[in-house]
Amino acid sequence: MESFKQKTAQADHSRFREYVSKFNELKTVFDSLPDGIVAILDKEMKIATANRAISEMLEMPLDEIIGHDSTDLLEERFPGVQKVVRQTLESKRGVRNYTIERFASNGDLNSFLVSTAVADELEDEFGIVLILHDISEITRLRKLTLQLQRYGEIIGKSKNMKKLYALIESIKHYDTSVLIVGETGTGKELFARALHDISDRKNKPFVPVNCSALPSDLIESELFGYTKGAFTGAATTHIGRFQVADGGTLFLDEVGTLPLKTQVKLLRAIQERVIEPLGSSKSIAVDVRIVSATNRDLVELISKDEFRDDLYYRLKVLQINLPPLRERVEDIAILADHFITRLNRYYNRNIVGLAPTTRELLEHYLWPGNVRELQNAIEHAFVLTTGALLEPQHLPPEIRLANQYGAPPAPPEDISKGEEEEDLRRTLLATNGNLVEASKILDIHRTTLWRKMKEYRIEKGFGKQQ
């Protein structure tokens, strides 16, 4: 007489055969699909059945795949797939769109989306169905498209950007000093790095210095260095940024904030190609290309005796004017796609892109914070979404609540807490360029507002519908 255990095993085996039979009945359908499908239905992790697409992906005949241990076979051909299998078995829940990559036999890098479903009809002996979707061609086309829409790490296909690409390309073999002018968040350091990376100095250091972030009493020692004992607390000799950048590029960001005393020393360093560390009378020769950047009107600062005109002309042998994001609307979608791709890689997610209504909102908004604000908005939406697309409700409120002109709501009364330039732009956008209303919100006199607008190169009509 058969034991209860034997009867149970026979019943389980019968259910197993029944499940395989159901799968095979649909084999014609499964074989017509481009996705690879594998059923793993026992504790030994053997492949019970599979379709034609998986045979092509594994480059093996089907009869050799069926009955094979899936653990070794799949992990060898699709590194990382066992992690998905284990997660499915442990949680008894399917996994959707896990991205894995592998090199094909011809050397191409292929990309796959892996999804699983639980075959719970087998009760205690439940297994899983594994689905592999080949997205290699989509990935390749996306990379190709990006290559046609970028210059190095700079993203954009608009006419404004293509003109800048041509300009950068035309000066790549020259050591010309370049002044980059643009609003906050337009990517001035990105352009400075691009200038360095295509120059003959690309194998030497690129050294950025944020002049506005350094206290005025420290900026000289940071730029030119100091000797031991040069001042109280100088316990050792310190090499300045000029020496660190020797042979390469020194990027001076927010150069308009430099104290006049430092400007004199900087001018001498540029003209004579020598520096003197603090506390030393010895001149040190340096070979450095200067690229500087500003979001302030240096001509205005010169008129107020806050910036030296001779230094200004030394810095701007060539000037590059970066367009604000509102003047390159056609770049918004591809920038958003670039940020989504980068976030997908970092967080191991598979967000497809923007919903059409989200794209409309982004292209309607006027972006006072430019590309940096767009990047933050995409990350904000990325974190909140649970689906495959970024929907309007996932965007920050200032974008969702923008007025008919694409301007954000007026900022709160404690506006002084933010960055001055961005606050001015945001307020002018919110008031559609009305200086009287803007000065009330900012709690400053209208003449002060006008002066600050000139300082930050904000046009009088900024914020009005074009």
Report the C-alpha gap between 74 and 49 in whole angstroms. 14
Nearest Cα to Cα of residue 34 among 50, 10, 51: 51
Q: Are 314 and 269 in contact (CB under 8 A)?
A: no
β-strands 274-275, 284-285: how paired?
antiparallel
Report the C-alpha gap between 240 and 276 in whole angstroms. 10
When the candidates are 3.40.50.1970, 1.10.8.60, 3.40.50.920, 1.20.1600.10, the CATH number that belongs to 327-455 is 1.10.8.60
Residue type, 205: P
User: Three-state SS for 119?
Assistant: strand
Report the C-alpha gap between 65 and 49 in whole angstroms. 8
What are the b/e assignments for 84-108, b being 16+ CB within 10 Å?
bbeebbeeeebbebbbbebeeeeee
Report the C-alpha gap between 135 and 100 in whole angstroms. 10
Give the CATH architecture of domain 13-135.
2-Layer Sandwich (3.30)
Q: How far is CA 241 from the centre of its chain?
A: 27
pTM over 0.85? The answer is no
Give the phi and the psi of residue 6 in degrees, each rounded to 5: -65, -40
Give the CATH architecture of domain 149-323.
3-Layer(aba) Sandwich (3.40)
Domain ranges of the chain: 13-135, 149-323, 327-455
Give the phi and the psi of residue 253 in degrees, each rounded to 5: -85, 145
What does the block give as tokens for 9? 């095993």
By CB atoms closer than 10 A (0-12, 13-18, 19+), residue 345 is exposed
Report the C-alpha gap between 144 and 433 in whole angstroms. 41
The reply to whether domains 149-323 and 327-455 share a CATH topology is: no
What does the block give as tokens for 291? 């690229």
Residue by residue, pLDDT tens for the chain (466 residues) are 455 444 444 545 565 566 666 666 666 667 777 888 888 877 778 888 888 888 888 888 988 888 888 888 888 888 888 888 888 888 888 888 888 887 777 777 788 888 888 865 544 556 788 888 888 776 766 565 555 677 888 999 898 998 898 888 888 889 999 999 999 999 999 999 999 999 999 999 999 999 998 888 789 999 999 888 777 777 788 899 999 999 999 999 999 999 999 999 999 999 999 999 888 888 999 999 999 999 999 999 999 999 999 999 999 999 999 999 999 999 999 999 999 999 999 999 989 899 999 999 999 999 999 999 999 999 999 999 988 899 999 999 889 888 887 877 766 555 444 467 777 877 887 777 788 888 887 778 888 888 888 777 787 655 433 3
Nearest Cα to Cα of residue 375 among 169, 215, 153: 153
